[in-house]
Structures are given as structure tokens and as C-alpha cells.
């Protein structure tokens, strides 16, 4: 009886502790919210003018929430033009298309920047943007601020009267965004005048607070990114999956190591393409088992009905668990791999056929030793989703990032690149951009339109010095005059909507006046098309080759081509990415600015293509005779169609589009090498034809002049 009473008291005590802890946590969050709200101070306006402030507050709220959703969906980017995502090969870019042909593109916060074929001195990178303006260029605060300001400019369109009074704008709006502990604070200065008969009212300042824990989400995403870059949780989980589901059986994955000793036998074989499809299914099922300790949806994984439940629980609660520095019980965290994200995959097989190394002995009894040793090269994207179901008034808010798994020879492909955690929230702001720090000589800047040499207004002038960023203002009548913060080795950045940003080195330590002139090139819309150099073969055993006499051919009617142009990065300049999708021979449009680009052309054939089973025979030696053993490769026909397209070709190279070449351009014809399997009779196709998918790039490297774009004027 006493033991029962003690148990009851323990349960009551634990319950009380939980209630008290929850109350303290909720009280703390309420106090934080009240403190952040109290920091917003607005001038008083007459009751008659209150509808004006209410209107702008409504616009501010809508713009802030919409901008936050865009940022969260794509890993911290409102402008998708800053991200390059290859919809067919998801590890060849700095972002991943979340849904096929739909988006949004989600930024890689950790990925291998070098090509997949890289084996040494490979470069790893992160597209994680800074959170605050003080942390660096193109921060989340800066992007949201810019977006809100653009939306606010359109707020009064169609609204010239309020309650019988005339409303007009006195000046352009200026917005400011600050990420607080549990919210985002948006303020604006938008001078408006309300004329009511013989009374005039002025309303200038506005402020709203959006309750969303963006800072906590950003810090958790950063912590998980750092954990992946330093310890490789994704590679650890993948190795566990491969180790669990591999073995010397045809319905399992090829094992990393294995031996089988017995009578004369050709051994077990696998087809590399089929192994990849099986592996994609396993990753889709098991990557979601990765959990973040201390989050709202963390649960201990209990074993299903398996042979060794204790081992199962030990593996999946240790190998699939990420510890964190802080508990975040109000946030949900999930990992996912979706099977339409095509991985980079290679096995050390002889072409598409993966077989054992066999040795047969006839010393006494005929015996065969089959040795299996397969090394996995594998890269694929993983979505990390953070969600607060209570944010935005119960609507919920999601913040997504992408992380890339990289394994070579079945081992984690490590990097010396370090991804550091963001600075603490209480880091004091930099004084670099303060007015009293702008002590250089007067600098007069003239900015012209690169196409017509006319003065260009509304060009943002930014000065960068190391990690310090100072937004100085905008041009008027094509001119900007100001003193700058002093710096040696600084960079001047000029940017304007619908124009290519430009940078130039600028030292500001001198006191003498300085006059500068710069050109900004407008974004140009140009028609683009594609034509093919076909690589073909005659029969099963003949080699694939390109016949120069065949020349160029029009694209197949069911050919889908994506042209991805990524401008080479310049210090301080915003990234620029242009994408066009071409269906068959129908031209598409692409937006271009002058610059040096990495050009990537990828084509899929969405036609019915079948690779039939091909009979293969092996001779199995016995003591006094031999026996021929035959089987089909693959066992079932390999079918490509509309939903599972054939990888027709990939071409990558660098090319410079000069201002002169784009001026007056009417169209650009891109050219590529393709594996024209549709030109090969079905009976002549074999599984080894898939090995030719790497060949087009070899032709590009040996015949670069053949694939340069042709610009028509």
C-alpha cells in the first residue's frame, strides 16, 4: 500500500513540475512578446485619419506575411532568380525544385559545389543567407524589407478617397524590417496626406508585428546544417540503410563486402539502374526517420515485429537522432527525400552489370569462391522542414532548407569547409554605416543605362568593406552625391530592379572629391531554341559515335530541354540565374544580362523507349566438363515514357555574353550532343546503352566550337 501511495505522489509531483514549467515557458514568451510590442512607438493621429493608418497597416501585414512565406518556402530567398536548380539532376545546382515543374526552388544550405565527378580538392558551399542586415549582404531582413517596400508602393493603387476625403502620397515609402526573438517587426515611413474639405491630415509612420519565430527557426536550421557539415548525419543514416538492406541475394542491394563459397556457380548479379530505383525507394521510406531531439514532434522509435527488436530500436534511435544545443518544444522538425529528385549514383560495376569476382578450384572437389565488394558513390538532396503550427495566428509557418548527402566509395565525402553558427541575437549593431562614420571626400556618382546611355534613376548605392555593408541611398536624375565610410579595399555595388547589378573596387580613405561613372545593363528578353548533334549506333555490339556528316538535327517532338544559365559570381554582386524550358522545337524566352555564364543544357525524351531483356550466358567450369548458364539482363524490359523520361543528354560549358552581342539580339540557338536512342531499333538496344549518358560531355570538351550559342540579330 505504501509503495502505491509513493507512486501516486511521484506522478503528482512530475505533473506539477510539468505544469509549472509550461506556465513559466508560456509566461516568458508572453513577456518577450509584450516587450517587443512596447518597442514600437508611433505618432498620434486624429481619429479622422486613423483609417489611413489602418489601410497601410493592413498592406504592411499582408506584404510581410507574404514575404515571410516566400522566404520560408525557399530557404531564405524571395527572389527565385538568385537560385539555380536543375530540375533533372538535383545535385547539379545550388537549389532543388521542390515539386516537378512547379517549385519553389529550395536553397542548399550545404552541398558540394564542384561537379559530381570531382574526386579531390572538391569545393563545398552554402547558400544560407545572413539573417540580419548587420550580418552581411542580401540578408533575410534586407530581402523582406525590399519586398515590403515594393508592395507598399502599390498599396494605394485604385485608392484615392477614404470616407469622402482625398488621399495622396507626398513621397515614396521606406520600409524597415527587424527580426526579433519571437516575431518580425515591420515599420515604414510613408508620408500621406488626407484632405477632408477644409481640413488636412498627415500620416507618416506605421508599424506592425508579425508573430513568427523566424530567429529560432533560422538558428535551428543553422545548427542542423553545421551538424551535417561536421558529422555527416545523412551519410550515417544512408550507410545504415544500405547495410540493413544489402546482401548476396538478387532482391537485396549489392553488399559492400561479401563472400560465398560453394559448388561451381556464376554467382548473383544486379543491374545498376535497378539498384538505384530500389535505393530511391528505401531512402524515401527511411530518411523521414531522422529526428531532432528536443523538438515538438520527437518520438522514441519503437520496433515493429522483427527478429531483434532491441537492436532495431538501438540503431534507429541512435544512428537517426540529431542532438541539439537547445530544446525547441514549440517547433516541429522533419527530414524527407522525394523519389523524383534524381540522385548522382555510381557503382564499381562492369558497365550496368554488377557481378562477383569468381575463382574456381579443382584441386579436390570443384569449388567456387564468389567475392562481392561494391563501393557506392551517391549524392542526393534531403529536405529539412521546420514548422511552427501556431505561428501567424494559428495558420502555421514553415521554413525549408536543403542539405546534400555525399558519399564516395561508401564513405562520407568530407570537406574542410566550415559552416559557422549565426552570431547571437544580442550582438551589437555595427557603426560602419553611421552618419558620423561617413568622412571620406565627396563622391559624385553618375549611373547610365548601358543600352541607351541615358541617366538612370532609383539605382541603389551600397558600399561593402569586408563583412560590413552600408546602404547609402539611390540615384536621382542618374546622379548620387555623398560621403562614404572610410575603407581600403572596399567594393561599390550598384543595383536596380530589372537591371544587372554591377560592382567595382573603391577605396574611400582619401579626402579629395571623386567623380565616378558606371553603366547598368538592362535585363533583356530573348527567344531561345535548341538543336541536337546526335550520337548513335547501328546494332547491339557496335560503338556509339557522332557522325560529323549528319550535322545538326531538330529536336524530337517529345524532347524537353531546360537551359540553365548561371552568371559567374562577382564580389558583393547578387547572383543572377536565367532558366528557359523548351518543349520540342517550340522556342521559349529567357531573361539575360551581359556576363560570363556557366551554361547547362539538359534534355529528357518523354517518348516510349524500351530496352528489352538481352540473353547473357556464362560458362561454369566443373571437374571434367563445363556448363553454360544463361539469363536475361535485365530480367524485365526497362521502360521509359512520359512519366519516366529517358535522359537524352547533358551539356555544360562556360560562355561570355557581351553587351555588344546582346544588343539587338532577336534569338539565341543553343546546341547540344544527345544520345539518340530513339534512332536505334528496339531489338538492338541493351542495358549497357545507359553507360553512354556520360558521353555527350566528352564530345563537348573535345569539340567546344561546335556547341557555342549562335546569336541572331
Q: Residue 485: which CATH number?
A: 2.60.40.1120
Which of the listed residues 471, 496, 520 is the one where a domain comes to its end?
Answer: 520
pLDDT tens-digit readout, 335-366 = 999 999 999 999 998 888 888 886 555 555 56
Do 183 and 234 have their domain in common?
no
H-run or E-run covering 582: strand 577-583
More confident residue, 612 or 172: 612
Please give the pLDDT value at position 572: 60
321-322 and 443-449 strand pairing: unpaired
Q: Three cell numbers at 617? A: 550466358
**Of 17-21, 316-320, 426-430, 582-586, highest mean pLDDT:** 582-586
pLDDT at residue 265 greater than cutoff 70: no
Q: Is the pLDDT of residue 72 over 50?
A: yes
Beta bridge partners of 494: 461, 502
| Averaged pLDDT for residues 492-513 | 91
The domain of 305 spans 214-412
Mean pLDDT within 13-19: 43
Map 362-422 to HEC letters. Answer: CCCCCEEEEEECCCEEEEEEEEEEEEECCCCCCCCEEEEEEEEEEEECCEECCCCCCCCCC
Q: How far apart are CA 602 and CA 619, in angstroms?
A: 41
Cβ atoms of 496 and 460 within 8 Å: the answer is: yes
Please indicate whether residue 73 or residue 368 has the higher confidence score (pLDDT): 73
Residue 187 has pLDDT above 50, yes or no: yes
Give every CB contact of residue 107 below 8 A, 6+ residues apart in sequence: 74, 75, 76, 77, 83, 94, 95, 127, 128, 129, 401, 402
User: Is 215 in contact with 425 (CB distance < 8 Å)?
Assistant: yes
pTM summary value: 0.83
Query: 407 with 450, same domain?
Result: no
- 621 and 680 fall within a common domain: yes
658 assigned to some structural domain:
yes
Domain count, the chain: 4
Q: Does the structure show a pLDDT above 50 at 3?
A: no
**Cα 360 to Cα 366: distance, rounded to the nearest angstrom:** 7
**Domain match, 606 and 697 both:** yes
In a domain, 104, yes or no: no
| The three grid cell numbers given for residue 323, joined into one nine-digit string | 542532438
CB atoms inside a 10 Å sphere around CB 534: 18
pLDDT at 121: 83
Residue 23: pLDDT over 50: no
Q: What is the DSSP letter of 56?
A: H
CA distance 93 to 138: 19
Summarised one tens digit per residue, pLDDT across range 656-700 is 999 999 998 999 999 999 999 999 999 999 999 998 988 898 999
Asked if the model's pLDDT at residue 491 lies above 70, the reply is yes
Q: State whether 176 and 200 are in the same domain.
A: yes
Chain segment 459-471, per-residue pLDDT in tens = 999 998 887 888 8
Is position 19 within any domain? no
Residue 16 pLDDT class (50, 70, 90 cuts): very low
| DSSP of 634-658 | SSS-EEE-SSS-EEEEEEEEEEEE-
Give the residue ranges of DSSP H helices in 87-213. 140-153
pLDDT (average), residues 552-560: 96
Say if CB 107 and CB 143 are below 8 A apart.
Answer: no
What is the spatial distance between Cα 245 and Cα 248, in angstroms, rounded to a whole number? 10
Instruction: Please tell me whether residues 258 and 380 are part of one structural domain.
Output: yes
- Give the pLDDT score at 433: 86
Confirm if 152 and 175 have CB atoms less than 8 A apart.
yes
Residue 268: inside a domain, yes or no?
yes
Q: How far is CA 341 from the centre of its chain?
A: 12
For residue 99, tell me if it sits in a domain: no
Is 8 part of a structural domain of the chain?
no
What b/e string do you get for 45-55 counting C-beta neighbours within 10 Å, with b at 16 or more?
A: beeebebbbeb
**Upstream peptide bond of 701 is cis (omega within 30 degrees of 0):** no
What values do phi and psi take at 27, rounded to 5? -65, -40
Q: Is residue 95 part of a domain?
A: no
Contact criterion met (CB below 8 Å) for 296 and 254: no
pLDDT band at 12 (very low <50, low <70, confident <90, very high): very low
Least confident window among 20-24, 35-39, 703-707: 20-24
Per-residue confidence (pLDDT) for residue 157, from 0 to 100: 80
Rounded distance between C-alpha atoms, residue 554 and residue 394, angstroms: 53
Q: Is residue 15's pLDDT more than 80?
A: no
Taking all residues of the chain, what is their mean pLDDT, rounded to a whole number? 86
Tell me, yes or no, whether 76 and 165 share the same domain: yes
Does the pLDDT at position 31 exceed 70? no
Residue 533 cell numbers, joined: 548533334
Q: Which helix (H) or strand (E) holds 283?
A: helix 272-286
Q: What is the mean pLDDT of residues 409-420?
A: 77
Which residue carries 555595388 as its cell? 493
Question: pLDDT value at position 198?
Answer: 80
Q: Do the domain assignments include residue 628?
A: yes
Q: Which residues of 128-146 are buried (b: 16+ CB within 10 A; e: fewer)?
A: bbbbbbbbbbbbbbbbbbb
Residue 26 has pLDDT above 70, yes or no: no
The CB density around residue 706, as the number of other CB atoms within 10 Å, is 15
Cell representation of residue 266: 556464376
| Predicted local confidence at residue 229, as pLDDT | 92
pLDDT band at residue 622 under the 50/70/90 scheme: low
Question: Any alpha helices (H) in 75-138, and if so which ranges?
Answer: none
pLDDT at 428: 61
Domain boundary among 412, 427, 446: 412
In a shared domain, residues 588 and 675: yes
Whether residue 360 is found in the same domain as residue 475: no
pLDDT of residue 613: 93
* Domain identity same for 469 and 582: no
Choose the weakest-confidence range: 104-118, 122-136, 303-317, 413-427. 413-427
pLDDT over threshold 80, residue 565: yes
More confident residue, 262 or 600: 600
Task: Kindly report, residue by residue over 93-116, the tens digit of the pLDDT.
Answer: 999 999 887 779 999 999 999 989
Eight-state DSSP code of residue 129: P
Q: Which of the two residues, 72 and 500, has the higher pLDDT score? A: 72
Residue 628 shares a structural domain with residue 677: yes
What is the rounded distance in angstroms from the CA atom of residue 64 to the CA atom of residue 354?
54
Give, in order, the Cα–Cα distances in Å from 67 to each of 184, 499, 709: 11, 22, 37
Q: What's the confidence (pLDDT) of residue 128?
A: 95
d(CA 438, CA 123) in angstroms, rounded, equals 38
Q: How far apart are CA 459 and CA 410, in angstroms?
A: 51
Same domain, 476 and 597: no
Last residue of a domain, one of 520, 543, 575: 520
Separation CA 594–CA 662 (nearest Å): 7
Amino acid at each position: 500500500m505504501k509503495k502505491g501511495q509513493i507512486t501516486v505522489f511521484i506522478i503528482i509531483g512530475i505533473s506539477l513540475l510539468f505544469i509549472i514549467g509550461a506556465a513559466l515557458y508560456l509566461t516568458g514568451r508572453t513577456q518577450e512578446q509584450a516587450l517587443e510590442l512596447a518597442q514600437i512607438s508611433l505618432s498620434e493621429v486624429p481619429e479622422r485619419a486613423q483609417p489611413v493608418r489602418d489601410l497601410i497597416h493592413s498592406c504592411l501585414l499582408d506584404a510581410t506575411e507574404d514575404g515571410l512565406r516566400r522566404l520560408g518556402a525557399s530557404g531564405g530567398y524571395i527572389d527565385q532568380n538568385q537560385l539555380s536548380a536543375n530540375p533533372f539532376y538535383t545535385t547539379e545546382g545550388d537549389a532543388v525544385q521542390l515539386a516537378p515543374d512547379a517549385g519553389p526552388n529550395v536553397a542548399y544550405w550545404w552541398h558540394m559545389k564542384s561537379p559530381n565527378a570531382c574526386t579531390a580538392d572538391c569545393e563545398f558551399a552554402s547558400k544560407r543567407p545572413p539573417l540580419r542586415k548587420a550580418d552581411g549582404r542580401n540578408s533575410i531582413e534586407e530581402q523582406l524589407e525590399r519586398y515590403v517596400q515594393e508592395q507598399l508602393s502599390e498599396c494605394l493603387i485604385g485608392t484615392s478617397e477614404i470616407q469622402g476625403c482625398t488621399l495622396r502620397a507626398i513621397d515614396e515609402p521606406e520600409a524597415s524590417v527587424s527580426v526579433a526573438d519571437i516575431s518580425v517587426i515591420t515599420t515604414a515611413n510613408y508620408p500621406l496626406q488626407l484632405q477632408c474639405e477644409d481640413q488636412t491630415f498627415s500620416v507618416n509612420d506605421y508599424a506592425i508585428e508579425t508573430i513568427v519565430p523566424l530567429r529560432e527557426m533560422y538558428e535551428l536550421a543553422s545548427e542542423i546544417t553545421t551538424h551535417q557539415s561536421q558529422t555527416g548525419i545523412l551519410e550515417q543514416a544512408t550507410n545504415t540503410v544500405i547495410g540493413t538492406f544489402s546482401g548476396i541475394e538478387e532482391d537485396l542491394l549489392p553488399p559492400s563486402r561479401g563472400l560465398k563459397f560453394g559448388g561451381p556457380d556464376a554467382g548473383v548479379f544486379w543491374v545498376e539502374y535497378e539498384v538505384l530505383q530500389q535505393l530511391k525507394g528505401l531512402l524515401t521510406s527511411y530518411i523521414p526517420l531522422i529526428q531532432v531531439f528536443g523538438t515538438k514532434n520527437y518520438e522514441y522509435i519503437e520496433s515493429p515485429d522483427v527478429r531483434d527488436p532491441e537492436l532495431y530500436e538501438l540503431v534507429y534511435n541512435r544512428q537517426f537522432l540529431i542532438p541539439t544545443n537547445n530544446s525547441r518544444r514549440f517547433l516541429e522538425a522533419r527530414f524527407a527525400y522525394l523519389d523524383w529528385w534524381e540522385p548522382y549514383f555510381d557503382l564499381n560495376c562492369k558497365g550496368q552489370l554488377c557481378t562477383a569476382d569468381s575463382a574456381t578450384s579443382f584441386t579436390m572437389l570443384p569449388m567456387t569462391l564468389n567475392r562481392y565488394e561494391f563501393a557506392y558513390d551517391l549524392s542526393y538532396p534531403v529536405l529539412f522542414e521546420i514548422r511552427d503550427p501556431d505561428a501567424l495566428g494559428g495558420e502555421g509557418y514553415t521554413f525549408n532548407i536543403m542539405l546534400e548527402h555525399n558519399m564516395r566509395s561508401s564513405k562520407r565525402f568530407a570537406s574542410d569547409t566550415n559552416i559557422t553558427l549565426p552570431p547571437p541575437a544580442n550582438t551589437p549593431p555595427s557603426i560602419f554605416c553611421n552618419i558620423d562614420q561617413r568622412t571620406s571626400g565627396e563622391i559624385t556618382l553618375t549611373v547610365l543605362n548601358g543600352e541607351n546611355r541615358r541617366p538612370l534613376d532609383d539605382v541603389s548605392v551600397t558600399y561593402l568593406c569586408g563583412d560590413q555593408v552600408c546602404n547609402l541611398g539611390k540615384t536621382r536624375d542618374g546622379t548620387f552625391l555623398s560621403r562614404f565610410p572610410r575603407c581600403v579595399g572596399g567594393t561599390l555595388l550598384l543595383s536596380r530592379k530589372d537591371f544587372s547589378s554591377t560592382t567595382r573596387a573603391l577605396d574611400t580613405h582619401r579626402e579629395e572629391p571623386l567623380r565616378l561613372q558606371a553603366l547598368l545593363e538592362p535585363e533583356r528578353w530573348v527567344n531561345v531554341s535548341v538543336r541536337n548533334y546526335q550520337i548513335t549506333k547501328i546494332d547491339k555490339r557496335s560503338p556509339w559515335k557522332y557522325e560529323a556528316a549528319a550535322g545538326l538535327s531538330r529536336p524530337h517532338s517529345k524532347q524537353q530541354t531546360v537551359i540553365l544559365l548561371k552568371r559567374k559570381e562577382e564580389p558583393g554582386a547578387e547572383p543572377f540565374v536565367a532558366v528557359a524550358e523548351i518543349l520540342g522545337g517550340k522556342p521559349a524566352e529567357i531573361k539575360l544580362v551581359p556576363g560570363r555564364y556557366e551554361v547547362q543544357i539538359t534534355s529528357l525524351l518523354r517518348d516510349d523507349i524500351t530496352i528489352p531483356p538481352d540473353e547473357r550466358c556464362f560458362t561454369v567450369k566443373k571437374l571434367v566438363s563445363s556448363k553454360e548458364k544463361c539469363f536475361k539482363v535485365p530480367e524485365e524490359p526497362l521502360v521509359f515514357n512520359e512519366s519516366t523520361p529517358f535522359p537524352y543528354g547533358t551539356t555544360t560549358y562556360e560562355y561570355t555574353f557581351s553587351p555588344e552581342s546582346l544588343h539587338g539580339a532577336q534569338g539565341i540557338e543553343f546546341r547540344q550532343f544527345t544520345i539518340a536512342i530513339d534512332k536505334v531499333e528496339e531489338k538492338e538496344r541493351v542495358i549497357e546503352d545507359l553507360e553512354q549518358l556520360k558521353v555527350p560531355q566528352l564530345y563537348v570538351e573535345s569539340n567546344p566550337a561546335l556547341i557555342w550559342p549562335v546569336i541572331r540579330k
